[in-house]
């Protein structure tokens, strides 16, 4: 199985800058861990990071036929992007939404996800491990 | 008269994928029909599809002087883009908004258009024909 | 095909009074144009104008079996009549909603239609032409 | 005791049309059942169906002195008519509100009744039997 | 000057029934007082009471050219009728809104008037005298 | 047929205390009347009163297979208990909701029922008779 | 009878400045007209203008025993002062609220009066005449 | 490490009844899987199911000192229980919230969790696997 | 006089655990202080702590005839329990609500009390002293 | 310790006027009782009553260095004055808010206090005794 | 040019008290800096600080003819004073609103200004410099 | 010091088109003025205009280490972009928000800024001068 992993806006900064604030795990490390988990499950991942809502929509739009599942951290676009929601819905590929932080313990405008209703499920609050659990949950869902 | 036709996010998938869901009419067919209607009215169209809010803003920003009218299906950006609204308002070119589906019979967050208040009018619910009626209405408005 | 055309409250005044405000096209002229369009499409129309919500409900209630489609400008009742909505829904006849003005560019209480969710589609903002495009869209829908 | 039974908008269609949708019980059958129940209780009913808010207000306005109670299914006017509410309140005749469907399991705009606060009670969800229970409840209330 | 006086729904009951509740002044008495005031001001009134929203819209629709001003107690339709608002606005005749009770001391749904924004002014809370002051204010406005 | 009757919080006080306020009919009398009605219909009832949300959930959770229908007055839990709603929904047993008082004539927080949307219907406002009509309506529904 | 007339904030500017905007009638002229009306009715007025919420509260607090009625234009404090509302309510003196402009045709924050619910009635929209009608209505109420 | 697993209201029914609806996995099976996962991680679990908000509060109140973490599916109490939230907050034990279904794809009143803001994180939508991922995430968090 | 003192959910933990957070005063100490105050006033108290909404409702339901007043800290149930409100209202025993913390300086969902409107008064923010002042205020009210 | 006691708008009328409504205790009596309580605690009070928001802000602004605590009944300004809130916050002097009536049993606009979030605590509903308990609570807080 | 500088409630305390909290710059220093800037621009300022809404209204009411512009920090009255807004609007003198703190990063009730819509512009967040930039912006606007 | 200046969507049109509407100052002129001001302060600016939300996020994401401050006019993205807000917050570079128009005097959806809460301050309403004052305020803040 091939899985598309999408990292939303500002995640390129993860672990690179302000490690005392965001932890020292960077996106490459997360991607390597995801690759390892995929490999253990006879699967592989392709990774895409973008700060552009349109690019994420483009990428999801090209995913069908090529990928069995999508693992997405929509970051700030979680709360504002109907376009990404529509892309996920149109793609008809099982999608899992993950968040590094517990979005329900943050500002009220971050407590609503436009994407979650068209996903299989959502995992939030476990830092870089949210991705790990999300990938395992996605693979589990696909092989169920 | 030259008309700018703008197709918003995810519309590149129309008719190509899931024809049982979205119908078998693809964007090319719609564009050909619009070209034919324009030709019958001594007019022509230029077509632009984009999943990027910014690209749509760019395109509208360059339209003035070149186009007499804009026909736009803002799709998901209908509900979230103040930037496209501002672009339409600044362009001072008569604009008609169209929707394939009846947006008033869908989820509540789809029942509000940020773009409509700065348009001549809005047509929604007639599938690919929404574009046709929209172009005719725009040409009619321009020649009134 | 026989189409029922319904003009809602205050539309009897159209073009007759304050032509400098509402334009010089009156309801008779609109009806004649609709008759001509219908004839070109081997169809005919019956016209009903009423300021009474109940009369409009009565008329829609008697329409089934007799009409293939309904073209309605509910005017002020657009925003307040659950009864007309229920009548349209019960009639199970394809219905198209039209508005002379762009209701989305007016007061906020005019931006919500109780009728649109049970219609095929909605056209607003093209003056008397809204009716024309609406009839064509309805006939197109019925022959699809 | 003489009871006034009022059927609101679109109820003239009940059972006559689309029996597969609305059931095969029509308004006449309901009225006969209500007459039988009334007779068993040494009472009688007068029946009024109208799609016109104003006519319902007229009818309630003339009811005082003549009727001991009112049984009303305000249908769509349940949610929009302050005028019928005022008529019921002014009449000072015990009134019971009934609904065929469970209005609390429908669209949110149907879950609020303007009439209920000025009634003795409300019964909803039991199809044609809602009228039966409503009449019995009204007669019970009047003889208590 | 000729003034159109409109009494909205349920006002036919005024003073006739429940005098201990609504006072003993009936609509005829009010109309006579209004006639006297009009006469003192070299004016006359025509009176129309209706429980039908549509009839009130009809009446206002026919008023132009014939009347210099409108005095209206829209009663329950104050809070629900966009159609009467549109009729007043279209008539372009100075209109004064009156209420017997102080609507701002009643239920919250009675504290908003859809009609007031298109009127010259509003008078509420003085019982039958509200009509008197309203007619004088209207005549004053017309002769200013 | 066996029917489960559930009385919610504070109903143990009915008729026992403050008879001048709540009437002199106590819960035992109501239960006896319900037993008589059930017997007349070749049915029987089991009665459960509890002030504990959890106990009511327990009871409904054990009801399946044993009861054909549930008659419930959720009292204060009407407005606050998602757990009872879920229990009713999971039980898949036809349920009728009853209220002694007309909840739509009380404080606004009492005018919304979380339970009603998963019930067959709702009866409110007829005092102890609400139970009687509710049981009859439930038996009628079950034998339809 | 002695009447206390209160003019709220910014009304000291009336007619003195920007006559092209606010009209040429100043507060003195209004006060003289009110004095004349009072005299015709064997009454007198005392006038108080203040931009200070506290001073208006002081003045109303001292009014009892001395005045039979209060005529108040609370101007901007209409929408924000619970203190003036409490003062009027505590004074237990019949009070009439007046406004020069039709506050219901202005910004939405001006369409709600905190004072009106504790007044006899409200008159708005008739310019300086609002005071006149208000005083007459107050005197009428007091002699009823 | 010892983990407290709490199953909220109605979960006792899982898999036992209506397997065609809820799946054939029952609470015992889930508990065994959780035990196995705990054992693999040199940990153990204690399980508590209750339909009683108070019992869940009691249980959490006794947990401190005895457990290193809490895994909770608050079910219906997710949306209504401030008491469970306070218990979790007072216990100062890392807590993970899980849901079988994707609560963000359900009724709007289920899309808000009172418990999530005081948890480490939340996992929803993966059926029985939500518990598994939740336990692993909790153990991961505790050993981080 | 005999006073019923009720401590709501999670208050069993007071002072026992996390003294650095909640202070070192535990519930026993508070109860002793209340007993002393009662004794000084020729009164006595009975104390009940429960995490169960239903138990609190049971307890209040049994209180009438036995107690002259109720002192209650409903804790989390302050904001969610209509059942406790109804129990207090039905008991017709003067009740005082107390809170350790100033609930108006906390999260917005804690700033509304469902219980306060049926109490004599409310005291919040004085830590354990809130109980003391509350008991004195209750005794003062009862002997007034 | 020196305590500043502030009485807000309209409280000068207390007990002087309408004793049958507000009780016969006037502000002087309350102040004497407060003086006595202060004296018993080796403290003294200064009293300030004002109907002027600005004066109350002035007074609080001058209080620092001179007073150890503030006892305030902001009356109507409770609900509208951000300025008094800011004054209390800037003064950094422990402040207790008191209300004669139970503000939570009154109109909804009286159920929110802008001042409470910056106070130590709030006491409402005990008539003149609210001041007494408030002063004791303040002195207790200051000596803790 | 002569500029009126208005400092709203509680600003008299600036820099005098709690310098560790509010900084050591007091109002006199700010006023001197403003005087210097004015002088550099061949202008002068008059300064007015008041805690009284009414006094600020008085001052603005007297400003016309005397001042070319107004620089105002309405402080707490920013969010509550329609009277100051009306005074600014009536004065027809260009006005600039300034705030020491970034009001958009504070409590939600501080994020809305009633005054800003009638000002030229608003500057917030730069501490004492907000005044400086505000005065320069005002002078720039006046000389444009 | 090096400052990053960001111009948001549609600002490329400034002064180039519709000078009678937007003024004749174009973006180049503004940028030159900003360069001059920077130079006077021993600083320099880099300018970036984009209609793409993602590009603005990219640009801010690369700014750290390179720039001492950011001056941003987010234009339409002010009201919709959580992504730009997160970028500013993550960059930890002092940022000043500017607007050409007074956004508080425009449509209600323009009166809320998602960006302002993470900025030092905001300046709006002074046309091209808003940038000037903004740059000076930013440089002032950085050298404080």
Distance of CA E81 to the CA centre of its chain: 14
Task: Give the best residue of C99, C104, C108 to mutate against chain B (max B CB count within 10 A).
Answer: C104
Q: Mark yes or no for CB contact A10/L54 under 8 Å.
A: no
- pLDDT digit string, tens, across residues H36-55: 999 999 999 999 999 999 99
Q: Which residues 6+ apart lie within 8 Å of B4 measured at CB?
A: B45, B46, B48, B59, B60, B63, B66, B67, B69, B70, B71, B93
The confidence band for A18, taking pLDDT boundaries of 50, 70 and 90, is confident
- pLDDT digit string, tens, across residues L93-104: 999 999 999 999
Q: Mark yes or no for CB contact J133/I137 under 8 Å.
A: yes
Q: Give backbone dihedrals phi and psi of H89, rounded to 5 degrees, phi first.
A: -65, -40
End-to-end CA distance of chain H: 13
Write down the H helix ranges in J10-142: 19-22, 27-40, 53-61, 82-91, 129-142
The confidence band for I114, taking pLDDT boundaries of 50, 70 and 90, is very high
pLDDT attached to residue C19: 77
The confidence band for B21, taking pLDDT boundaries of 50, 70 and 90, is low
Strands A2-7 and A44-49: parallel
L81 to chain K nearest CA, in Å? 16
The confidence band for L15, taking pLDDT boundaries of 50, 70 and 90, is confident
- pLDDT digit string, tens, across residues A76-94: 999 999 999 999 999 999 9
Q: Mark yes or no for CB contact K87/G12 under 8 Å.
A: no
Q: Kindly report the average pLDDT of chain B as a whole number.
A: 95
Q: Mean pLDDT, to the nearest integer, of A3-15?
A: 96
| Facing residue for G61 by CB, picked from J10, J18, J77 | J10
- pLDDT digit string, tens, across residues J59-97: 999 998 999 999 999 999 999 999 999 999 999 999 999
pLDDT attached to residue A49: 98
Residues F69, F93: Cα–Cα separation, whole Å: 6
Least confident of C18-22, E8-12, F80-84, K15-19: C18-22
F81 touches chain H (CB under 8 A): yes
pLDDT attached to residue H2: 98
Q: Mark yes or no for CB contact J80/G85 under 8 Å.
A: no
CB C74 within 8 A of CB C112: no
Q: Mark yes or no for CB contact H119/A125 under 8 Å.
A: yes
Residue-wise burial string across G39-57, b where 16 or more C-beta atoms lie within 10 A, e elsewhere: eebebebebbbbbbbbbbb
Q: What is the ipTM of this complex?
A: 0.94
K6 to chain J nearest CA, in Å? 15
The confidence band for C83, taking pLDDT boundaries of 50, 70 and 90, is very high
Residues C13, E73: Cα–Cα separation, whole Å: 23
The confidence band for K17, taking pLDDT boundaries of 50, 70 and 90, is confident
Q: Is the pLDDT of residue C144 over 90?
A: no
Q: Mean pLDDT, to the nearest integer, of K44-69?
A: 97
3-class DSSP state of I106: coil
Three state DSSP letters for C66-116: CCCEEEEECHHHHHCCHHHHHHHHHHCCCEEEEECCCHHHCCHHHCCCCCH
Q: Is the pLDDT of residue I109 over 80?
A: yes
Q: Mean pLDDT, to the nearest integer, of B127-144?
A: 96
Query: What's the DSSP call for residue G116?
Result: G
Q: Mark yes or no for CB contact E140/G129 under 8 Å.
A: yes
pLDDT attached to residue B122: 98
Sheet of L95-99: strands edge to edge?
A: K44-49, K2-7, K69-73, K95-99, K121-124, L121-124, L95-99, L69-73, L2-7, L44-49
pLDDT attached to residue L105: 94
CB K137 within 8 A of CB K69: no
Residues of chain L contacting residue K104, judged by C-beta atoms under 8 Å apart: 113, 116-117, 119, 122
Q: Is F142 exposed, middle or buried (0-12, 13-18, 19+ CB in 10 A)?
A: middle
Q: Mean pLDDT, to the nearest integer, of E93-120?
A: 96
pLDDT attached to residue B44: 98
L48 touches chain A (CB under 8 A): no
Strands H121-124 and A121-124: antiparallel
Element (H, E) at E27: helix E27-40
The confidence band for J48, taking pLDDT boundaries of 50, 70 and 90, is very high
The confidence band for D21, taking pLDDT boundaries of 50, 70 and 90, is low
Residues G105, E104: Cα–Cα separation, whole Å: 16
- Supply H63's token pair: 């947990």
pLDDT attached to residue B53: 98
Task: Give the best residue of B14, B49, B76, B114 to mutate against chain A (max A CB count within 10 A).
Answer: B76
Tokens 């102890």 belong to which residue? F128
CB I71 within 8 A of CB I44: no
- pLDDT digit string, tens, across residues D71-118: 999 999 999 999 999 999 999 999 999 999 999 999 999 999 999 999
3-class DSSP state of E12: helix
- pLDDT digit string, tens, across residues C15-72: 887 777 677 899 999 999 999 999 999 999 999 999 999 999 999 999 989 999 999 9
| Facing residue for K90 by CB, picked from G8, G13, G54 | G13
pLDDT attached to residue K114: 97
Element (H, E) at C3: strand C2-7
- Supply H124's token pair: 């929803």
| Angle subtended at Cα I97 by Cα I91 and Cα I103, rounded to the nearest 5 degrees | 145
Give whole-number Cα distances, C121 to B8, C8, C115, C116, I31, in Å: 20, 18, 10, 7, 69
Residue-wise burial string across C101-137, b where 16 or more C-beta atoms lie within 10 A, e elsewhere: ebbbbeeeebbebbbbbbbbbbbbbbbbbbbbbbbbb
H82 touches chain F (CB under 8 A): no
- Supply B104's token pair: 């008033």
- pLDDT digit string, tens, across residues G50-81: 999 999 999 999 998 999 999 999 999 999 99
Residues E139, E3: Cα–Cα separation, whole Å: 9
What's the length of chain C? 144
What are the helix and strand counts (H, E) for chain C?
5, 5
Distance of CA A129 to the CA centre of its chain: 12
Q: Mean pLDDT, to the nearest integer, of H20-37?
A: 90
What angle do helix axes J129-142 and I129-142 make, rounded to 10 degrees? 160
Residues J32, J30: Cα–Cα separation, whole Å: 5
Give whole-number Cα distances, K65 to B33, G11, K61, in Å: 66, 18, 10
What angle do helix axes B129-142 and B27-40 make, rounded to 10 degrees? 30
Catalytic residues of E: 22, 99
pLDDT attached to residue H20: 73
For the question of residue I99 being annotated catalytic, the response is yes
K129 touches chain J (CB under 8 A): no
Q: Is the pLDDT of residue E20 over 80?
A: no
Element (H, E) at A3: strand A2-7
Neighbours of chain H (3+ CB pairs under 8 A): A, F, I
Tokens 């979650």 belong to which residue? A116
Q: Is the pLDDT of residue J115 over 70?
A: yes
J76 to chain G nearest CA, in Å? 5
Q: Transcribe D60-82 into DSSP letters.
A: HHT-TTT-SEEEEE-GGGGTT-H
CB J142 within 8 A of CB J68: yes
A61 touches chain B (CB under 8 A): yes
J96 to chain K nearest CA, in Å? 20
CB A70 within 8 A of CB A90: no
B82 to chain L nearest CA, in Å? 5
- Supply C53's token pair: 């919500």
Q: Which residue of I has its CA nearest to H117?
A: I107
Residues I3, I40: Cα–Cα separation, whole Å: 13
Q: Measuring CA to CA, which residue among J61, J37, J62, J48 is closest to residue J12?
A: J48
| Facing residue for E57 by CB, picked from C10, C18, C109 | C10
Q: Mark yes or no for CB contact I110/H64 under 8 Å.
A: no
Among candidate residues F7, F67, F77, F99, the one labeled active-site is F99
What's the length of chain B? 144
E83 touches chain C (CB under 8 A): yes
Question: Do chains G and B touch, with touching meaning 3 or more CB–CB pairs less than 8 Å apart?
Answer: no
Residues H43, D93: Cα–Cα separation, whole Å: 71
J15 to chain I nearest CA, in Å? 17
- pLDDT digit string, tens, across residues H101-129: 999 999 999 999 999 999 999 999 999 99
The confidence band for E21, taking pLDDT boundaries of 50, 70 and 90, is low
Q: Measuring CA to CA, which residue among G75, B71, A9 is closest to residue L54?
A: A9
pLDDT attached to residue G21: 67
The confidence band for E84, taking pLDDT boundaries of 50, 70 and 90, is very high
| Facing residue for J136 by CB, picked from I118, I120, I133 | I133
CB F56 within 8 A of CB F6: yes
Distance of CA A34 to the CA centre of its chain: 11
Among candidate residues C7, C77, C99, C131, the one labeled active-site is C99
List the domains of chain I with CATH numbers.
Answer: 2-143 (3.40.50.9100)
Q: Mean pLDDT, to the nearest integer, of L80-106?
A: 96
Q: Mean pLDDT, to the nearest integer, of H87-98?
A: 96
Give whole-number Cα distances, J93 to A9, I129, J1, J141, in Å: 46, 19, 12, 12
3-class DSSP state of A8: coil
If one compares K62 and A20, the residue with the highest pLDDT of the two is K62
Q: Which residues 6+ apart lie within 8 Å of G122 measured at CB?
A: E102, E104, E122, E123, E124, E125, G96, G97, G98, G99, G113, G116
Q: Is the pLDDT of residue E112 over 70?
A: yes
Q: Mean pLDDT, to the nearest integer, of F45-67?
A: 97
- What's the pTM? 0.95
């Amino acid at each position: 199985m091939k899985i598309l992993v999408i990292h939303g806006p500002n995640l390129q900064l993860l672990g690179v800058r302000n490690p005392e604030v965001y932890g020292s795990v960077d996106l490459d490390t997360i991607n390597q861990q995801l690759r390892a988990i995929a490999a253990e499950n006879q699967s592989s991942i392709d990774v895409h990071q973008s700060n552009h809502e349109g690019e994420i929509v483009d990428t999801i739009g090209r995913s069908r036929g090529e990928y069995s599942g999508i693992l997405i951290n929509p970051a700030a676009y979680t709360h504002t992007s109907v376009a990404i929601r529509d892309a996920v819905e149109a793609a008809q590929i099982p999608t899992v939404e993950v968040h590094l932080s517990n979005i329900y313990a943050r500002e009220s405008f971050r407590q609503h996800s436009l994407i979650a209703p068209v996903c299989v499920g959502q995992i939030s609050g476990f830092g870089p491990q949210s991705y790990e659990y999300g990938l395992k949950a996605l693979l589990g869902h696909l092989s169920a």
